Chain A
Amino acid sequence: MSEQLSADIVVIGSGIVGSLAARRLALQGASVLILEAGPRLNRGRVVAAFRNSPIKGNWMGAYPPSPWAPHPIYVPKDNGYLKQAGPYPYPAEYIRAVGGTTWHWAAMAWRLVPNDVRIKTLYGVGVDWPMTYEELDPWYQEAEELIGVAGAPDTGSPRSQPFPMEPVAEPWSMRRFCERLAPAYAVVANTVARNSRSYGGRPACVGNNSCQPICPVNAQYIGENAVAAAEAAGVRLIENAVVYRIEHDAQGRIAAVHYFDPDKGTHRVTGKTFILAANGIESPKLLLLSASDKYPNGLANGSDMVGRHLMDHPSSSITFYADEELWLGRGPQSPSSINTLRDGAFRSQHAPYRLDFTNISQVLSVTQDLIKEGVYGAEFDKQLRWRAAHQVSLKNVLEVLPDPDNRITLSSEKDAMGIPKPEAHYSIGDYTRRGADVSKADFTRIAELMGGTGLRYSADGQFANNQHITGTMSMGNDPKTSVVDGFGRTHDHENLFICSTGVMPTAATMNSTLTAIALALRTAEHILPKPADVHAAALNAEREASLS
């Protein structure tokens, strides 16, 4: 046995959420240790890996899994890590590495809209959150100032303080959407963790148009930045530490966690408080793996709710040719959305949605289309340029309601370390499908307003996934129907907290990361409160630092 590892607070998972919780606790004077299953990555190497990848349409191409901490890969072929129990496929993507999945996010940092947390009361669907939007507001603000969020005022999410940054400059293509869709649709700048000026020691965006898979210039906040901030605050991180069991004592308190190193050597880490922050799939997997005589269904699972209520955001889409040259691919990949359909009385009938415009360069996809069509000779370049200039695409981001049958369980198959793989049980309900049907009329109307030709709708009943893994360790006031309380503390274990998108009891219509960070900061405050004056002074110092 190597050194005896111990800390006041042990965090499992080094993603953006866990790392920012760890940082906050370390700044409060706690000794904090993060255990990360995957290796450290290097930004320059990721950029090179993408440029050298033969599958550039797949963002995971630059992130091969490590043998000891596999993550799902589907292209060029399914590596069989996330088992699919059906009936509908759930091909979730995430990254097990230091910094986690936000290595390749679009940096969308939306808040909820206020009614998202009350859909049971207001619309008779889903569940209410154990908190109000107003309670979340200061935590959103703290999160936004930490990661550097740029946004427009008219998003439907009220705020008591201004955004840290002005919206990122609008690409020409989005300006034309904005002008031509008005007044039928209001197109607004996305709320993003992307710099519109120097902020937090990082530069403004320079339009590399590769936010996913990787921002080469560090203009977009990612988990690596969160890890660096945590380490600067005194957090210790051990990479390649694959936690496979959480150990409790006779009273049901968590006593230690056990991890494998890549050579399968075992290590035990003790602590006073434990935070599980290993994403919405790996975290419930670990809770289920940690079953004992006292807790035969796994830890934190007295309610049998661990792994259940799996949600994400399915999307259907339309692709068409606008009647003017828009040349997607100039500027960031995800600049603008239509937010007006995220809430309304219709939520009692069908899923709300955000309409999301892509600004991803169309060059790769139209090249593939032309090759498929067998266009050769001088016509290829001509067609390539015309299509790359005119082709646009729009998708919905649909709410999925919590359904206990949608869940993550342990597969009978094991990974290379002998740890059971996660298995997804998933279906897309009628509420979401009705939302997709309704949004089709928006697709058509928007295409008309853009003089669209060659309209191509995604196939009915077919949805792309958005990797916003939510619900599997839902928060709630009732221990019978939820896994954690409103502060992220597991109902069953006094010193085990969860910081993850997985604690969100509903998925709403926005990318889940910012909400998970806000909830994690709130959890950190609950574990170790900051004195009020210290909190205010720290926030002010951060504001001043961000102006430098």
Chain B
Amino acid sequence: MTNEIQQVVPHHDDPADPSRRRLLAGLLTAYTASLIPWALAQPAPHADRGAFTALSAILVGRQALDATQTARLYDALVADDAHFPADVQSLLTLINQRQIDPLQLQNVLDTEHSPLAPLPRKIVGAWYLGVVGSGEAARCIDYETALNAVAVADVLKPPTYAYGTYGRWANKPI
């Protein structure tokens, strides 16, 4: 795992389908591209999913996101809220234009009473908890691959998975 944001746009190229590459790259500015340089080369089936991929990557601070997981979370979030794609586009545009640091984002949205204020938590919750929706409408989309499991996978197993042979937990963790 890397927490450092690469400042150099890598020499990605996808001669097989350059139009797809342009699609996602076209959603970013120099500022957001600096947060997620890998995204410039990512294929996306359409602009809405591309915007979700880009915004997700910014919010969860990742330089790579699994395409299947992205699709499943996106579909679940859209199923809950038909405005979700438009909201994602709006928030990505806002971050693009105003160069908002992800750490300051919630504060900015809350301070400005933005209607987009609930959106980051929805997306980050989907990725880190693997849960989409709330209350009785909540459903689990991912567990073992939810990012909170992935983030600690070198030390912990997701509960219900065996840690190891009997007593392995007696050792110092790292």
Question: Which residues of A pack against B, CB within 8 Å?
Answer: 47, 50-56, 76-77, 169-172, 175, 196-197, 204-210, 214, 216-217, 325-327, 329-331, 361, 363-364, 367-368, 370-372, 374-382, 384-385, 388-389
Q: Are A50 and B160 also in contact (CB < 8 A) when A367-B129, A371-B124, A371-B125 are?
A: yes
Q: A172-B169, A208-B159 provided; 7 other pairs, C-beta below 8 A?
A: A51-B160, A175-B170, A209-B156, A329-B156, A361-B156, A371-B129, A389-B173
Contact of B124 among A56, A204, A364, A380 (CB under 8 A): A380
Chain B residues positioned under 8 Å from A206 (CB to CB): 162-166
Contact of A388 among B156, B163, B169 (CB under 8 A): B156
B106 within 8 A of A: yes
Q: Are A330 and B169 also in contact (CB < 8 A) when A376-B105, A381-B1 are?
A: yes
B41 vs chain A, min Cβ distance (A): 20
| Residue of B with least CB distance to A176 | B172
| Residue of B with least CB distance to A61 | B140
- Complex CA distance for A239 and B137, rounded to whole angstroms: 31
Chain A residues positioned under 8 Å from B151 (CB to CB): 381, 384-385
B162 lies within 8 A of A376 (CB): no
Q: Are A54 and B139 also in contact (CB < 8 A) when A371-B124, A377-B101, A377-B102 are?
A: yes
A374 lies within 8 A of B161 (CB): no
A305 vs chain B, min Cβ distance (A): 39
A200 vs chain B, min Cβ distance (A): 16
A327 lies within 8 A of B121 (CB): no
Chain B residues positioned under 8 Å from A329 (CB to CB): 156, 159
**What is the 8 Å Cβ interface bit string for chain B, positions 119-144, against chain A (1 contact, 0 not)?**
01100110011010111101110011
Chain B residues positioned under 8 Å from A327 (CB to CB): 155-156, 173-174
B171 within 8 A of A: yes
A368 lies within 8 A of B165 (CB): no
A375 lies within 8 A of B170 (CB): no
B167 within 8 A of A: yes
Complex interface residues of chain B between 57 and 108 (CB less than 8 A to chain A): 58-61, 101-103, 105-107
A376 lies within 8 A of B59 (CB): yes
Chain B interface size band reads: 35 or more
What would be 21 A-B contacts, judged by CB atoms less than 8 Å apart?
A: A76-B135, A169-B166, A169-B169, A175-B170, A208-B161, A208-B162, A209-B160, A210-B159, A326-B173, A330-B155, A367-B148, A372-B121, A374-B106, A376-B59, A376-B60, A377-B102, A378-B102, A379-B61, A380-B128, A385-B152, A389-B173
| Residue of A with least CB distance to B155 | A327
B135 lies within 8 A of A382 (CB): no
A376 lies within 8 A of B136 (CB): no
Q: Are A172 and B148 also in contact (CB < 8 A) when A54-B139, A377-B103 are?
A: no
Chain B residues positioned under 8 Å from A77 (CB to CB): 135-136
- Give me the 10 closest cross-chain CB pairs, A-B, nearest first: A374-B106, A377-B102, A207-B163, A331-B169, A378-B61, A169-B167, A330-B169, A54-B138, A206-B162, A376-B102
Question: Which residues of B pack against A, CB within 8 Å?
Answer: 1, 3-5, 35, 58-61, 101-103, 105-107, 110, 120-121, 124-125, 128-129, 131, 133-136, 138-140, 143-144, 147-149, 151-152, 155-174
Q: Are A384 and B148 also in contact (CB < 8 A) when A52-B143, A376-B102 are?
A: yes
Chain B residues positioned under 8 Å from A216 (CB to CB): 160, 162
B148 lies within 8 A of A364 (CB): yes
Chain A residues positioned under 8 Å from B139 (CB to CB): 54
A44 vs chain B, min Cβ distance (A): 11
| Residue of B with least CB distance to A196 | B166
A47 lies within 8 A of B160 (CB): yes
B61 lies within 8 A of A207 (CB): no
Chain A residues positioned under 8 Å from B171 (CB to CB): 172
Q: Are A172 and B124 also in contact (CB < 8 A) when A329-B156, A363-B148 are?
A: no
Chain A residues positioned under 8 Å from B166 (CB to CB): 169, 196-197, 204-207
B59 lies within 8 A of A330 (CB): no
Chain A residues positioned under 8 Å from B4 (CB to CB): 378
